[in-house]
Amino acid sequence: MDERTLVIRIKTPDGNDVDWSVDPIPQLYFRDVLDVISQVLPEATTTAFEYEDEDGDRITVRSDDEMKAMLAYYLGTMHDMQMSGEMVEPLNIYPRACKPPGKRNIHGLKVNTRAGPGSGATASTASASDSGGGSSGLPTNSLKKPSAELNKILANEQISEQDIEYQDMLGHGNGGTVYKANHLPSGKIMAIKVIPLDVTPEVQRQIMSELDILYKCDSSYIIAFYGAFFVENRISIATEFMDGGSLDVYGMVPEHVLGRIAVAVVKGLTYLWSLKILHRDVKPSNILVNTRGQVKLCDFGVSTQLVNSIAKTYVGTNAYMAPERIAGEQYGIHSDVWSLGISFMENPPTLPAGQFCAPFEHFITQCMRKLPTERPAPEDLMVHQFIKQFDDGNTEVVSMWVCRSLEERRANAPV
Ligand code: ATP
Ligand code: MG
């Protein structure tokens, strides 16, 4: 074996362990390992993993530094094994899955619990006799499935109900219910929003054509759209699944994390506005995060027909709506800016007044000026001190906060 090659054996709960050859070692990051684990165990949300030290004690790894310590330890033992002529054992790691507490399927949708194909097809399954000779089908450590690849998978094939295996219910709002689901032909985990809609076939066609623009949205701050379809009197909209869920369930968010989230939201909104799309529903439950530290916007109103059809069933305002909108006046970018301000005002820890950083207070106050035209314009938002200060591309901060919060939630979940 090339001494720079490392075989990591991912120990899975069902015993179908997977060997992964990594080469060269110095380029391996914690995030890469989580990415590979997420391909091996697509249905779990993995926030950390463990390895065993020489005494058999489990050591947890959840950062690059802890990864380095693990690799230093393993390379030492690997060297000893080579020196004494022993066969080199792979590095065993044990993913720590973190499932958000399940919610009841109150809409009565059939949840299919059959095991899907997953992405195991790309990985080699280790048997007891296969001690990891680097025969893994997994490529090296740059395993992130590019969205282009997924687009290719889906391009020739409209997503349809038969191809979907519904799993947990992720939550439900005014209009519909969101499920985590497995798209069987691609093995891709998705979020599917199911909205009951009693509309004519003509209106259905109109909604589908209005949703078309979502295929063209291409921003790392906007949730990816995979397709939509009608079955009987409901529409299903398939999008990228975000394993951290929405911001509303996180409660207080420390300012240094909130700052990075605000940067992503401002960039997402700026992107939508550049396409002449108003979001119309900016609020914490429509800001999604994942364990990679990405922050993305969802549920923006691209289809007037869809928005109107939902509104016929569910009337009312929400707490994030700008005053002019509640008053039934004209809606514009400024109304999105108000909702942006109020969403972030809600989330920092409740400190006594005067203890937030001044740029944050200024940002919120400006976004929430009563007169729409006095609120910052899109170009002002990006250069605001609060946004500039956190626009450093540091996804690690958000990633660690999401992982820790999910672990805490799991620890506090009723058994
Ligand atoms: P409203 O209907 O008033 O807009 P809402 O945004 O909470 O409220 P939904 O949009 O139906 O309602 O979403 C329900 C929940 O599903 C969200 O709160 C969020 O936690 C979860 N969710 C939605 N989309 C995704 C996704 N792509 N990935 C992971 N979780 C999601
Ligand atoms: Mg929503």
pLDDT digits (tens, 9 = 90+) for 110-137: 433 333 333 333 334 333 333 333 333 3
What does the mean pLDDT of the chain come to?
82
Helix (H, G, I), strand (E, B) or coil at 23: coil
Q: Which residues pair with 60 in a beta bridge?
A: 50
Residues composing the chain? 415
Out of 43, 170, 180, 402, mutate this one to test ligand 1's pocket (max ligand atoms within 8 Å of CB): namely 170
Give the residue ranges of DSSP H helices in 183-330. 201-211, 213-216, 255-274, 304-313, 323-326
CA of 389 relative to ligand 2 center, distance in Å? 28
Cα separation, 117 vs 183, whole angstroms: 9
pLDDT digits (tens, 9 = 90+) for 303-362: 888 888 887 766 566 789 999 988 888 889 999 999 999 999 878 655 556 667 889 999
Out of 109, 174, 285, mutate this one to test ligand 1's pocket (max ligand atoms within 8 Å of CB): namely 285
Q: Is 281 a catalytic residue?
A: yes
**Which candidate in 19, 35, 281, 336 is catalytic?**
281
Rg (CA), the chain: 23
User: Cβ neighbours of residue 235 under 8 Å, at least 6 residues apart?
Assistant: 194, 195, 197, 204, 207, 228, 229, 306
User: Cβ neighbours of residue 392 under 8 Å, at least 6 residues apart?
Assistant: 260
Average pLDDT of the residues in 172-181:
91
Pocket of ligand 1 (CB under 6 A): 170-176, 178, 191, 193, 223, 239-242, 245-246, 281, 285-286, 288, 298-299
Residue of higher predicted confidence among 17 and 125: 17
Report residues near ion ligand 2: CB below 5 Å.
285-286, 299
pTM summary value: 0.77
Instruction: Calculate the CA 244 to chain-centre distance.
Output: 6
One-character DSSP codes across 54-82: TTS-EEEE-SHHHHHHHHHHHHHHHHHHH
In this structure, the residue with its CA closest to atom 31 of ligand 1 is 245
